[in-house]
Structure 1
Amino acid sequence: MSSSDVLAAQSILSPRTAPPGKPPMKVLVVDVGGTHVKILATGQREHRQFVSGPTLTAEQMVTGVKALAGRWKYDVVSMGYPGPVLNGRPVAEPHNLGRGWIGFDYCAAFGCPIKIVNDAALQALGSYKGGKMLFLGLGTGLGSTLIVDGIVAPMELGHLPYRKATFEDYVGSRGLMRYGKKQWRKYVADVVARLIAALEPEDVVVGGGNVRKLKELPPRCREGDQANAFIGGFRLWRDAGNPIPSTLKGMIRRPISPVSIDAMNAAIKRRGASR
């Protein structure tokens, strides 16, 4: 993603699009991953990052983000979390980081309001163009999110049983190191095909840090851009008095919101009835 694309994504927060009498909101997007924590704030052209790893705690993450952000100004935070999130709170410790993420007071730590979603959901939000989209993130593990007519359903498909372990064990970074690129690519193709057959998406985005290690994308898939996580982070706050910019309006058919199981089932039933 170019600097101009990043700034276009941030235009949801520009003074020209802010409602009359309301100052523009500045957002800090924090994308927490198994190998790096990446950040970008409103008005900045380039993201910054630092190494995460298996011992990183929530407190250390916040300290690192604040130090890295330096003099960046922000009013609110969007955070992508590498694990399940329910009602804006992590509900399980991350598989590839340290402990202490559940029950941590992120608002108090950052000193401002924060919205937390699964990290795959953050990139999915930035990749969504409408309809029924499946996002799969090839990284330390296997991130997954389904969006149906604007309703977001973060998933943990990577932990479903596969062969002698789970999907994530074969197509995540551990699988890449254990089996080598050639066999890993075969596993990726097989896993993606199985998930497409099961979920019947209209659009499939394969992203994550390891997507570039594929020689070619699986059939029916398009490549996701990791920088789309930042677009997703800015979108999270667009309903708080921050309209969608003209450069992004065509990508969204309906407002995007966190999912409830009932809402997702209703959306799927509506689509099935319309066939």
Structure 2
Amino acid sequence: MAPPRPPASGWPAHSIGIDIGGTSIKGGRVNTENGQLTTALTAVPTPQPATPLAVTNAIHQLLQDLDPSQTALGSRLPLGVAAPAIMQQGIARSAANISDSWIGMDVNQFMTEQLGRPVSAINDADAAGLAEVQFGAGKLSKGLVVVITLGTGIGSALVMDGTLVPNTEFGHLEIDGQDAEVTTSAVARERNAMGWPDYARHLNRYLSHLEFLLSPELIIIGGGISARSADFLPLLKLKTKVIPAKLQNAAGTIGAATHMLTPDRPDVGVRR
């Protein structure tokens, strides 16, 4: 896969990435040419209720440390935000573990106005998937790559030759009459006290269905459970290569920051 194109002329090779989670909001500065964090990940608790204004205020708090230049409006770094929502042209079409008041909001416009800097929002699983394909486990991979994040639910990202197909919701595929995430998420394994062989059978059933539908070249497994990949990946029986993610809890932050500075993206209405 070709490396990411450089930022548009006049734009910095750095951006800030923010990853909104159900319990915490993480952020960091990112070198968008190599995907490396240039600061440590910083986090603040996710406000409850997680309304757009409350979350934006929490992000503003993070920016105090992440962008000391913010006192000069013209020097403020652009901001990419990974949100737990379906994002279409910057508009939230769903809300998971955040307030329903996000639904229908133009997140790009709202946060740009509130924070005084260019902002572009992307679905959180898509952000993590982009980061893994550009800089992580899927770097240099060609063809169709599927990134699956196993956590409270199941997130998914679909990347074809480096181009994202946004807002897939493969965690809601029906397997034996139930959403896959009901039986196959990391939380489902804990809730049902499944051992690794039992869990691997559920995961294999789910991934086999994805394999049949999509015929991917590579499947990357992310989420916190990927740290235990040696306990279940060897038990899978698939034709497709399955590997663990590399970027761990920084993937969403890196992907959001990189997405912000991808040239010619139609959903960034703030670039001139």
Cα contact 2:26–2:253 (8 A) shared by 1? no
**Matched positions, count:** 229
* Other-structure match for 2:122: 117
- Over 3 Å counting, the alpha-carbon distance change for 1:37 and 1:186 in structure 2 is farther
SS of the equivalent of 1:236 reads helix
The equivalences for 1:130-141 within 5 A come to: 130-141=142-153
Cα contact 2:39–2:66 (8 A) shared by 1? no
| Unaligned stretches of 5+ residues in structure 2 | 32-37, 68-75, 134-139, 268-272
1:149 corresponds to 2:138:
no
Cα deviation code 1:97-141 (max 9, x no counterpart) = 333212152222222221111111111111113321111011221
- Following superposition, the deviation at residue 180 of structure 1 comes to 1.9
* Other-structure match for 2:184: 171
Q: Distance in 1 between matches of 2:200 and 2:15?
A: 37
SS of the equivalent of 2:12 reads coil
Cα contact 1:158–1:168 (8 A) shared by 2? yes
- Following superposition, the deviation at residue 145 of structure 1 comes to 1.2
Q: Which of 244, 255, 264 in structure 2 is aligned with 1:223? A: 244
SS of the equivalent of 1:92 reads coil
* Other-structure match for 1:237: 260
- Over 3 Å counting, the alpha-carbon distance change for 1:111 and 1:140 in structure 2 is farther
The equivalences for 1:187-206 within 5 A come to: 187-206=202-221
TM norm structure 2: 0.73
Q: Which of 63, 88, 109 in structure 1 is aligned with 2:57? A: 63
* Other-structure match for 2:174: 161
- Following superposition, the deviation at residue 76 of structure 1 comes to 1.3
State, as a whole percentage, how many aligned pairs show the same letter.
22
SS of the equivalent of 2:100 reads coil
- Following superposition, the deviation at residue 176 of structure 1 comes to 2.5
- Over 3 Å counting, the alpha-carbon distance change for 1:48 and 1:71 in structure 2 is closer
SS of the equivalent of 1:137 reads strand
Query: What one-letter code is carried by the residue in structure 2 that aligns with 1:50?
Result: V
| Unaligned stretches of 5+ residues in structure 1 | 1-8, 241-254, 260-275
Q: CA RMSD in A?
A: 3.0
* Other-structure match for 2:73: none
The equivalences for 1:1-275 within 5 A come to: 19=9, 22=10, 24=12, 26-42=14-30, 44-52=38-46, 55-73=49-67, 74-94=76-96, 96-102=97-103, 103=105, 105-128=110-133, 129=140, 130-154=142-166, 155-182=168-195, 183-214=198-229, 215-217=231-233, 218=236, 219=238, 220-224=241-245, 225-226=247-248, 227-240=250-263
Cα contact 1:135–1:206 (8 A) shared by 2? yes
